[in-house]
Amino acid sequence: MADVIEAAGASEEPTLILQRSRKAAYIVSPERFEHDQEELRTLRRALFLTEVREAEAEDASGGAREFSDMEELLDDLRA
């Protein structure tokens, strides 16, 4: 296992671990993991801000729907 961890730490790419010919795990260096997590946080924040801006524009244009209660909103989202 030490050799696998060492190889994963030296590589820029994740190391795939198979178990019975199925994907079981990926091993990545701590630097790669932290970089990927930061990038993911940045992308999620950008998506969230985009969705907020779209909702604000929809509300400003009068196109936002109103719901009488939470159940009505949830029913609409499920549809």
pTM of the model: 0.64
**Separation of alpha carbons 10 and 42, rounded Å:** 26
Strands (E), 1-79: 15-19, 22-27
- What would the pLDDT profile of 6-64 be if each residue is shown by its tens digit? 888 888 889 999 999 999 999 999 999 999 999 999 999 999 999 999 999 998 998 78
- What would the pLDDT profile of 55-64 be if each residue is shown by its tens digit? 999 989 987 8
pLDDT value for 54: 94
Q: Residues in the chain, how many?
A: 79
pLDDT value for 34: 95
The phi, psi pair for 6, rounded to 5°, reads: -65, -45
Q: What is the DSSP letter of 41?
A: H
**Separation of alpha carbons 37 and 50, rounded Å:** 20
